[in-house]
Structure formats: structure tokens, C-alpha cells
Amino acid sequence: MSRSISRWLGCACVTATIGCLSSHAAVTTASPTVRVRFVAHGDSFKAAASEYERLWAAEGARIVQAMERVSGLRFVSSNYADTAIVAQVLERASNSGYRDTPMELRASYPFDTRRATLIHELGHRLQAGLFRREEEEHGPLFLWIYDVWVELYGREFADAQVTVERRRGGRYPAAWDAAMALNAAERSTRWKALLAERSPTRR
């Protein structure tokens, strides 16, 4: 794992394990525009991978539509289509991966946190073209994923998942404090201003 790639991964995971995909069971599901292949990182995570698979099969299309609508970004952009994502399911902090580097998703999350975290990590990938590798991008991410969570699952769900993410510590509490200090219109305005001032740097 090169440093440049590991730096680019969202969230708390330090390293992504790649190169072991062929030896583990894989399941593939599809939404109209984004396929996510959930790969159990060993037999003990097969059940969790299957549950992620069912989640994506049932809700993936809605998730993609809501994320694209709220963010104004597209998984298929002019020079890259992030539409064939591998997500390893294992027991460690989740991270987004980037392009061909797999996403990693914690196996033990409760169902709602699986939903929220999958959207969080997909959000990193969706907005990746706006940021340089060294930039901390949770502040911008939280300007729009809360509103995706609300649109899909309601405010009670969204608030509960903010609480879950705050408990993780690190960069999350301050970034969520900043986003939650704004109302939905203010978050949208700030996000659109950020979109307007940045041309894609990586796509």
C-alpha cells in the first residue's frame, strides 16, 4: 500500500488490505448506476457481507439518487466512472477506498449504522475530485450527507447517526459540530459555494 493511497483513504483506517479478494467469497449487487461488490474478508464475515448485499440490493438505487441529488455530483463524471466498487467487509474502522482501492466496511455495525456508514464512505468517493490528497474533507462531507440521511431515512435516523459518529472521536466531533451549527439551507449554500470555487482536481 503506497503512502499516497493510504493518505487518500477517508476515515480512520490506516491501511487497506488489497490483493486478497480472489480468495474470499464475493457477492455482487447492482443499482442502476453503481455496482458494489461486497467481499467477506474471511468466512466469519460472510453473513455480514450478505447483509450489506441485501441492503444495497434493496436501497442502493435510492441511495445513489439521493446522494447525487443532494450533492450535485455524479458517480459517472466526465473522466471517471466510480460505478464498480469493491467493498471488503471485515472488523476494523471503515474507509472509503478510492477508485480501484477497495472500500472497507466494519462487519459488526448495527443495521442503521451500516446504512449511514455506507453513505458516508460513498460520499468520500463522490466528492473525491474536489479535494487534494492531504485535505481534511469531513467538514465538506458533513455539509451534505446529513441531508441525504434525512431524505432517505428521516431526521431521527440522521441525528442518531451523528451521535454514533461523534462517539468515534478524532476528526468527527468538530466536523459534525460545524455542520450542525448550520440549518439545511445554510449547509446547502455553503456546499454549493465550495462546489463553485473548486474545479475537479482529480477527475
CB of 180 to Zn ion, least distance (A): 16
Nearer to Zn ion, 11 or 55 (CB): 11
Nearer to Zn ion, 103 or 152 (CB): 103
Number of residues that bind Zn ion (CB under 5 A): 2
Nearer to Zn ion, 27 or 87 (CB): 87
CB of 123 to Zn ion, least distance (A): 8
Site for Zn ion in 2-61 (CB under 5 A): 10-11
- Three-point CA angle 121, 122, 124, nearest 5°: 65
Nearer to Zn ion, 8 or 27 (CB): 8
CB of 168 to Zn ion, least distance (A): 9
- Sheet with 26-30, strands from edge to edge, namely 26-30, 35-40, 84-90, 103-106
CB of 23 to Zn ion, least distance (A): 28
CB of 25 to Zn ion, least distance (A): 27
The three grid cell numbers given for residue 138, joined into one nine-digit string: 469531513
Site for Zn ion in 103-132 (CB under 5 A): none
What count of residues does the chain have? 203
Nearer to Zn ion, 31 or 127 (CB): 127
- Three-point CA angle 195, 140, 175, nearest 5°: 165
Alpha carbon dihedral 133, 136, 137, 138, in 10-degree steps, equals 150
Instruction: Give contact residues for Zn ion (rule: CB under 5 A).
Output: 10-11
